[in-house]
Structures are given as structure tokens and as C-alpha cells.
Amino acid sequence: MEHIVIIGNGISGVTLARHIRKLSDKKITIISAETEYFFSRTALMYIYMGHMKFEHTQPYENWFWKKNRIELLKAYVKNIDTDAKQLHFEDGGNLNYDKLVIATGSKPNKFGWPGQDLEGVMGMYHKQDLEKLETYAPNKEVCNRAVIVGGGLIGIELAEMLNSRSIPVTFLVRENSFWNGVLPEGESQMINNHIKNHHIDLRLSTNLKEIKSDDNGRVKSVIIEETGEEIPCNVVGLTAGVTPNIDFIKSSKIELGRGVKVNRFLETNIPDVYAIGDCAEQHEAIGNRRPIEAVWYTGRMMGETLAQTICGNRLAYKPGHWFNSAKFLDIEYQTYGWVFRRKGRPDYEQHFHWKHEDDTKCITVAYHKNTNEFLGINTFGIRMRHETFDTWLTEKRTIDYVINHLSEANFDPEFYKHFEAEIVTAYNNQLQTA
Amino acid sequence: MSLAKPDALGISTTQKIALAGGVIGLLILALALFNTNFPNKAIFLTLALGLIITGIIVYSRDAYLSKLEGIKNDGAWFKSISSRGVWGWIVGVILTTFYIVLYFFPKYLGLGTDGSENTGLISLFDPLSKLLSGRPASQWFVYGTLYTVAILAFGYKFILKYRHNRYQQIRTISVMFFQLGFAFLIPEFMYVMNNDLPYYDLKSIWPLNYYIFDEWSVKGFLSNGNIGLALLLFGIISIFVITPILTYKYGKRWYCSWVCGCGGLAETAGDPFRHLSSKKMSAWKFERWLIHLVLVFSVVMTTAMVYTYLGYDSNDFWLTRGVFIALVIGFLSLVFTVVMLFKRHELGKDAKYGAIGLFAVILILVTMHFTGTTDHVFYVKAGALRSAYGIYIGSIFSGVIGTGFYPILGSRSWCRFGCPMAAILGFQQRLFSKFRITTNGGQCISCGNCSNSCEMGIDVRHYAQKGENIVRSSCVGCGICSAVCPRGVLKLENDSMTGRINPTDILLGNDVDLMDLVNQK
């Protein structure tokens, strides 16, 4: 019986295993050094906030794995011998495979800041990071202030977590507006305001120079690059993006770039070795997507696709229209299709922007200035229907059509106030197409 | 997880004062319970209830209005009372004891027997009862008042907690309205107008209202002319006409989380405990058997009850024992046949076996009755069935366990495991309703907030992460899963029946060819 070994028990590896089981009787082993069972990384924040316990972040009950004959192995892979088709573990054991899938995800970026390895400095990615945070920041008495470095999705989640325990937060963001490497100006501004409304000390255009230590090797303060200001703190969260978690592969023959290099079929340069999820790097990016996509659902989709290949139906990874979502404190964000920030925006792309007067809801619709083709939408504070936008993108609808049919895409709960009429009026006024 | 847990998130000074006020209010009630004879009962009752209500209002305003609108579940699993900690168990024991005394030993609450005056706690409520209906209070009046106070005050708290969510606000106003009007005030006023009429909470529908077809109840209605007859007819129409129509259009939520009193308490006072319900597959299996057995029990009990007080002779009244049994068998056979003909592929294996098995048992019992000699349909004395049902289901299950165990089993254990009305509504919701919770394409990140907050113990995430709509008989449509979802994945909707149940293997967003290949097998 063919033995499929998957390194990593995140959404990519687990989706792959589930789909291989649906399609075949192969022997499946999932290896993880982080946790015994699959859990949802995106839910770690809710454990610290007291919304859930760790077991609630596990999408499958513990009996699920045995019932589906998926073997789980808690071990740390030290290196891969692709000639012998064998894995070597840190504790000395070995495991042979017929097909190997690398799905090891990411790890937090560290940019060589002085003091970045002190006690009390942490990312917010692994379960172990959460345990560290619980040790160093259980409450505001133990942690008088936390400094977060890096204005992305994990940074704002960490700010929300600490806020839930009334721990004062200083949030250092390199850019001159929150996440404006992704968001257009108006949206980024709105989120700046929302962060400040939550009494988070948001510092824009601010870089970390160094992290200072006390006598016991614990964080004492941080120094700001631009002003030299010293901010006393007990915890430093490093959330300046993530990078593929592939150090243990460097000694093998598998080709690496920033991640594990794969072709469209998610195959590496070595036969019978594949890579999926955050750690996989496409030789050439797919459409407007990045070569490395550290997104929950792309990991899942790669798992769904690779299962076909491994089970005999060789299939290229061809993701459909781009979409994503996030939540910035109390404001939900969804995106369908492509809406570019100012920097690097294609010449043909123009935007229609509407913002509600309460400064917590807005939409930005991108369209082609010559053809009026709808290119994508960002929506904040209003839920929209994935299926509807996916259809409209496939049908290449015009912006006029989309704006005038926006209510069909509304996904807010019943009885919510609707803003479509207001949006249509704003659209007609701005673009004078009435 | 072996994390050091903060015992509870700190509460503000205002919240402490509010809590103290509420506790003093409860203390007055406790003193009355232990036979302190208050000089002016009206004033002390007002003071007690006033302090409790004001305490809850002040506490909630300080807790929620000091923060921005949004999801407010911080610390739910840290607080002792809402995470099966010491306080949770203490409150559970107090509530359970209260229910046991209420149902089985009302004299300890001070109920006057054989015409003697009330004492203790019940006497404290005499002034309010006399004001409303002119008669002294009973244990049920005390219970009804406290129940209504709880739904109103904690309903206010819930509205503040979800002040960004109009579905939650309107739904809560609805349960507050139905409790205050239909369960509390209207029956009192009906008594004032006609004191022969049996107590009738119009929104309490058979089989939840298991005593409406009791002999004393039916005779009570029938001896009151047209009004009584109209009320009795309304009771029958409620379950056979109104309920199926509304459930078809809106799902069982129209009742369970908009109208029902049990649901009303669960959604308001019970809200802080909603996450405690078990989401295990084993709990779901147990639930399916238990709730349907209770339904069968209630149908059998009611049939036997009605049967005993009907006559044999059609000259007295057209509805004789024979006609009645024929009607019951006819109706059950019709439902059974229709479901097996059109919906059997939607039933699980155990559901099929269960339905066939129980249906067969009922048929055999009735056939044996007609061919045999016994006087009792189902071979058991109807009176014994009725009193067993009243004690074990009506009192112990719905009250003592259902509400007393809020801090242990979560707020809906009665609705989930025991309520025969919920079983009927759920059966219809699963098979003949436009209601579903729609999943938003591929946006789910499997975080589990939805499952965690489901008071009915539905593993919502199991469906959401597959891109599948949630169509479950137990869903009461409270809408909290949708509210807490951080990615906007869930929406409660009434839409067409086709495509309502849509199991998928590959979610929207992936290669369209792959979706076609896998999903259209």
C-alpha cells in the first residue's frame, strides 16, 4: 500500500489527507511538532480573549483520525533524504515514504533587530506563541504595556487580544497608514481611526530600532528608530509578516527559493515530493496572486487539488477569482476580485469609493477605465455574498451593473439597514452617469 | 490547555455597586422565604424587584455602553460562573433547589393550604397578584413574576450586548413582549373577566403545553360558552394549522427564539451560558433519540388521556372513543406515509429505524386494544401516564434540569433534548421549510466561533467549512453563529426549497473544473 507522508498538520495538510482518504485506501501519515491534533490557527486569538478554549479550535473530534485511518505522528523532522525516500527525526527515528508532501506553513519574520530573541519577545503564529503570551502578559499588572511591531493582519489581532485584557498597547507601523500596502487610502484611513477609537496607541511611519533588556534577559523597553524615544514595555509582539517554515529542508536536494519551489502541479524538482500551503512558492505567480500565498483558503484549495494528483488524476492548481476576508477589531472586511492600493496600481484601474458617515462602513469598487469592466470590490462593515461576486467576475459585468445590483450581493443579517440606495446615489454623483 | 487563566476579568466600581444592589434585592426575597414578616409587603416587593432590575440595568449599561459596538464575549470561558467554575455550580445548585421546592414542596415557599393565608415568599407577592387579578398569589404567580422579570431585565442586557445587530434586538423585544403580555398579563386579565376559564397562555402550544387537553382543562373551556370553545379551537389550530404554515415560511425560529417562554429565558438570562452545550457527535446522537422519545411519550399520553374522558355513544357527542382513535391513527399514518414516500432519502438510518419502529409499536398497541379486552388504550392507565409525564417531563426535565442546569449544560438543554414541541417543529424544519443558514462560499476559516456559541450544540463549523448550508432540525435560528462569525460566513435566510441542502467536497473559489468534477458526482 502506498504510503503518503505529510509534514504539517495545518489546513493544507489536513485537507489533503481528508481528500486522499475520500479517493483512495492509501496509507496516510501526518507529522507535526506543534500539536497532536489539527487546530485552527486563525482562532488562537479567541483563546486568549476567553471566547473559546483550545479544544474548540479543533475542527474534528479526536476519534475522527482513527476512524478515517489517518495516522498522526508528533515529531520534528530534522532532514529529508530524498534518495532513500526517508525522513530523519530530531529524536533519532526514521520514517520511509512513497510520496512526501511538505505543508509546514510559515513562521514569523524577524529582521535582525537587536534584542529580538529576548524573553518576552514573540510572534503570534504557533500555539507555543500563545502559551508564551499567557506567561508574559496574563494581565495588565504583569504586563504594563505591550509593543507590537508590524501593521498587518496578525498585528491588529494581537492588539485586539491584549486590549481584551486591558493591557495598554503601542502599535508600531512602518507605513504611513495601516496596511496601505494592500488597502486603498480611504479604507486604510478608516481603520487608522478605528484602531485609535479602541485606545490603541497607533504610531504610523514608525520603525523599531532595538529591544532593550533588563538584567534578567527580559524585555524592558523598545527604542524608536525615528525619534530615539524609549517606550517601557514587558512584551514585544513581532508581527511583521511571515516567511515559509523550511529551514529543515535546506540540507536536502529539494529546490528552495523563499519557499519550496513548485510548478503548477505543486510538484517540486524531486519526483514524488510536493509542497502545498504557505510554504509553497510558485515558479511564476498565478495571475495577480503572489508566488507565495499565506492565506487560509489557498492552503485548503492546494490540498483539494493535490489529492487528485496523488490519487492518479494529475491536476494543475488553478485557483478561481481572488477573494479574502479579515476582521479589524469590530470591522469586518471582505474582498472579491482585485482592488489595488495606490502604489503599483495598474494604469487602467479606477476606483469608486463610498464611505458611511459613521466611519465604520465603506466599499471600494475597482473597474477598468476604458471598458468599465468590474475588477473587484473591497467591503468594510457590510457583508457580501461570495457566490454573487464570483459569478459577476466570471461574467465580466460592468461597474454600472454591479452598483445597480448590489442588493443581490448583500449578505448582512436580516433587518440590518441597507445602504445600496445611498451607494447608487453617491456613484451617480461621483461619476455623473445618471 | 495548561495556560494560567486569569480568574475573571476585573469589573468596574459601578458594576460592583450594581451587583450589590441586585444581591440586596435577592436578599429581601430570601428573607421573605425564611418567613421574615415584612410590615408593608407592597413596598418591600417593589424594593426587591426594583433593586434586582435596576442592578441588572446599571451593570449592563456600564459593561456594554462604555465600549464600542461589537462582539462582547471577552472572558466568557474565564469567568467562574460561565465556565462551570465554583460560581457556576453554586448558581446551578440554588436554581435546581428552587425548582424542586417550587414543583414538589410549594408549602416551603409559603403557599397557604386549605384556604389559609399565604406566608413567606408567596405572601410577599400577594399585593401584586391582588392588584392584577384580585386573588392572592400562588407559587405559580411568584414563579411567573420572577420569570418575567428575568426575561425583561436580562433581555435589556442582551439588547445592549448586541446593539449593533438589529436581528438580535428585534428578536429579543419579541420574546420580552410575548412573555410580559401573553404569559404574564393576559392570563391574569382573562381571569378577571371570566374566572372559570382555565389558565391559558395563548402562545404555549400543545405538546409543550401538555395539560391543555386534560379533562379539567377541556371541560373548563367547554363550560364557558363561545369564548371557551374559541380558545380550545385556537389551541387545536395552533398546532395543526398555524405552526406548520409559519414553520414552512420561517423555520422553527418563529416560535423557539421569537415567541416561546422557555426560549425567551434561554436567550436572555441564559445567554451567558450558551457556549456550555456539548458539541460532540455523541451528544447529537443522544439528543436525536431522547427528544423523539419524549415526543412519542407526549403523543401517547395525550391520546390516552383524551380517550378516557370521551364516551362510546355518538348520540352524546360526535367525537367518540372510536372516532378519536381513528383520527389519531389516520393522522400519524398520513405523516408517516408522506415522509417515507417523499423524504426518506433525507433521513438518517437511525431516524428511519426509529420512525418505523415506534410507528409499528403504536399500531400494534392500538390494534391489540381494539381486538382485546382491556379498557386502557396502550395497556397503561391514562392517569398514570399523565402524572408520570407531568412529574418527569413537565417538572423535572423542563424545569429542574432544563433551567436549573443552565450553568452546567448550557441554556437550551430542555429545548434540545426534551421539548416535544421543538421535536415537531424541528422535524418540519428539516423536511418542509424554506429556512436555512446559508454559508458564504469559501470564506470560512474553521475558527469555531459559530459552533462554540451554538446553544443547541450544533457543530456549525462542520457545515460552514465545507461550504454547506446548515439545515438542522434542532436549529432555533437565534442567529448568534452569524453574529460572532469574524468573516461574514453565515446568514439566516428563508429562500426556496431547491438547493437548500447542498453538500459539497470542493468549495467555491477553487478551479471550476475541479469543482465540477468532484461536486457533480
Here the CATH number for the domain that contains residue B450 is 3.30.70.20
Shared domain for A267 and A342, answered yes or no, is: no
CA-nearest residue of chain B to A328? B486
pLDDT tens-digit map of B302-331: 888 888 888 776 666 778 888 888 888 888
Shared domain for B362 and B446, answered yes or no, is: no
Hey, is the C-beta of B69 within 8 angstroms of any chain A C-beta? yes
Neighbours of A89 (CB within 10 A): 16
Report the number of secondary-structure helices (H) and strands (E) in chain A: 11, 25
Q: End of a domain among B174, B195, B216? A: B195
Distance from CA of B368 to the nearest CA of A (A): 45
Q: Looking at the 3D structure of chain A, how many domains does it have?
A: 3
- Return the pLDDT at B11: 84
Q: Which helix (H) or strand (E) holds A169?
A: strand A169-172
**Residue-averaged pLDDT of chain B:** 89
Distance CA A187, CA B56 (A): 38
Question: Which residues partner with B494 through β-bridges?
Answer: B435
Distance CA B473, CA B433 (A): 10
Hey, is the C-beta of B173 within 8 angstroms of any chain A C-beta? no
Distance CA A339, CA B173 (A): 41
CB contact under 8 A, A318 and B514: yes
Shared domain for A130 and A225, answered yes or no, is: yes
**Residue A295 CB partners (closer than 8 Å, separation 6+):** A324
pLDDT band at B4 (very low <50, low <70, confident <90, very high): very low
Distance CA A48, CA B5 (A): 9
- Considering only CB atoms, B510 lies closest to which of A50, A52, A304, namely A304
Question: Residue A37 corresponds to which cell in the numbers above?
Answer: 491534533
pLDDT band at B366 (very low <50, low <70, confident <90, very high): confident
- Return the pLDDT at B377: 63
CA-nearest residue of chain A to B1? A54
Q: End of a domain among B389, B414, B431? A: B431
Shared domain for B288 and B161, answered yes or no, is: no
CB contact under 8 A, A46 and B511: no
CB contact under 8 A, A11 and B446: yes
Residue A278 is part of a domain; what is its CATH number? 3.50.50.60
Shared domain for A73 and A135, answered yes or no, is: no
pLDDT of B466 above 80: yes
Contacts of A320 in chain B (CB under 8 A): 508-512
Shared domain for B210 and B183, answered yes or no, is: no
Contacts of B491 in chain A (CB under 8 A): 383, 411-413
pLDDT tens-digit map of B54-87: 999 999 999 999 999 999 999 999 999 999 999 9
Shared domain for A138 and A222, answered yes or no, is: yes
CB contact under 8 A, A305 and B445: no
Q: End of a domain among B407, B431, B455? A: B431
Shared domain for B406 and B455, answered yes or no, is: no
Distance CA B486, CA A96 (A): 41
Residue A52 lies in a domain: yes
Question: Which 99-158 residues of chain B touch chain A by CB within 8 A?
Answer: none
Helix, strand, coil percentages, rounded to 5, for chain B: 65, 0, 35
CA angle B269, B270, B272 (to 5 degrees): 100
Distance from CA of A382 to the nearest CA of B (A): 9
pLDDT of B374 above 60: no
Distance CA B292, CA B419 (A): 9
Question: Which residues partner with A353 through β-bridges?
Answer: A364
Residue A230 lies in a domain: yes
Residue A146 lies in a domain: yes
Residue A342 lies in a domain: yes
Q: How far is CA B436 from CA A177, B372, B520, in A?
A: 41, 47, 22
Question: Which 475-494 residues of chain B touch chain A by CB within 8 A?
Answer: 479, 482-484, 486-488, 491-493
pLDDT band at B300 (very low <50, low <70, confident <90, very high): confident
- Return the pLDDT at B316: 66
Shared domain for A196 and A135, answered yes or no, is: yes
Per DSSP, the residues of B23-37 read HHHHHHHHHHHTT--
CA angle B60, B28, B148 (to 5 degrees): 50
Residue A136 lies in a domain: yes
CA-nearest residue of chain B to A18? B505
Shared domain for A390 and A290, answered yes or no, is: no
Q: End of a domain among A201, A217, A240? A: A240
- Considering only CB atoms, B510 lies closest to which of A22, A320, A411, namely A320
pLDDT tens-digit map of B140-186: 999 999 999 999 999 999 999 999 999 999 999 999 999 999 999 99
Q: Which residue has the cell 486591558?
A: A166
CB contact under 8 A, B514 and A164: no
Distance from CA of A108 to the nearest CA of B (A): 20
Shared domain for A66 and A159, answered yes or no, is: no
Give the sheet arrangement for strand A27-32, strand by strand: A70-74, A27-32, A3-7, A99-102, A273-275
User: Omega of the bond prior to A232 within 30 degrees of 0, cis?
Assistant: no
DSSP structural state of residue A184: -
pLDDT band at B376 (very low <50, low <70, confident <90, very high): low
Neighbours of B174 (CB within 10 A): 16
- Return the pLDDT at B5: 42
Shared domain for B173 and B307, answered yes or no, is: no
Residue A375 lies in a domain: yes
DSSP structural state of residue B345: G
Shared domain for B469 and B351, answered yes or no, is: no
Per DSSP, the residues of B58-104 read HHHHHHHTTS-SS---TTTTTSTTTTTSHHHHHHHHHHHHHHHHHHH
Shared domain for A135 and A219, answered yes or no, is: yes
Neighbours of A46 (CB within 10 A): 28
Residue A411 is part of a domain; what is its CATH number? 3.30.390.30
pLDDT of B423 above 50: yes
Question: Residue B61 corresponds to which cell in the numbers above?
Answer: 449599561
Q: End of a domain among A286, A310, A334? A: A310
Nearest to A138, CA basis, from B8, B374, B185: B8
Shared domain for A142 and A103, answered yes or no, is: no
Shared domain for B385 and B396, answered yes or no, is: yes
> The domain containing residue B311 runs over which residues?
200-431
Question: Residue B185 corresponds to which cell in the numbers above?
Answer: 398579563
Contacts of B81 in chain A (CB under 8 A): none
Residue A293 lies in a domain: yes
Residue A116 lies in a domain: no
| Main-chain phi, psi angles of B97, to 5 degrees | -60, -45
Contacts of A384 in chain B (CB under 8 A): 488
Shared domain for B419 and B273, answered yes or no, is: yes
Judge whether B124 and B29 are in contact, CB under 8 Å: yes
Give the sheet arrangement for strand A169-172, strand by strand: A121-122, A235-238, A146-149, A169-172, A201-203
Shared domain for A215 and A249, answered yes or no, is: no
- Return the pLDDT at A253: 96
Q: End of a domain among A185, A205, A240? A: A240
Q: What share of chain B in percent tops pLDDT 90?
A: 59
Distance CA B237, CA A47 (A): 48
CB contact under 8 A, B449 and A43: yes
Q: How far is CA B190 from CA B145, B184, B199, B233, in A?
A: 17, 11, 8, 17
Shared domain for A303 and A387, answered yes or no, is: no
Question: Residue A409 corresponds to which cell in the numbers above?
Answer: 450581493
Judge whether B408 and B88 are in contact, CB under 8 Å: yes
The answer to whether ipTM exceeds 0.90 is: yes
Shared domain for B376 and B450, answered yes or no, is: no
- Return the pLDDT at A344: 87
Shared domain for B426 and B437, answered yes or no, is: no
CA-nearest residue of chain A to B165? A416
Mind listing the pLDDT tens digit of every residue in chain A (434 residues)?
Answer: 899 999 999 999 999 999 999 999 999 999 999 999 999 999 999 999 999 999 999 999 999 999 999 999 999 999 999 999 999 999 999 999 999 999 999 999 999 999 999 999 999 999 999 999 999 999 999 999 999 999 899 999 999 999 999 999 999 999 999 999 999 999 999 999 999 999 999 999 999 999 999 999 999 999 999 999 999 999 999 999 999 999 999 999 999 999 999 999 999 999 999 999 999 999 999 999 999 999 999 999 999 999 999 999 999 999 999 999 999 999 999 999 999 998 889 999 999 999 999 999 999 999 999 999 999 999 999 999 999 999 999 999 999 999 999 999 999 999 999 999 999 999 999 876 54
Shared domain for B208 and B306, answered yes or no, is: yes
> The domain containing residue A160 runs over which residues?
121-240
Shared domain for B14 and B75, answered yes or no, is: yes
Q: Looking at the 3D structure of chain B, how many domains does it have?
A: 3
Shared domain for A221 and A263, answered yes or no, is: no
Distance CA A305, CA B517 (A): 11
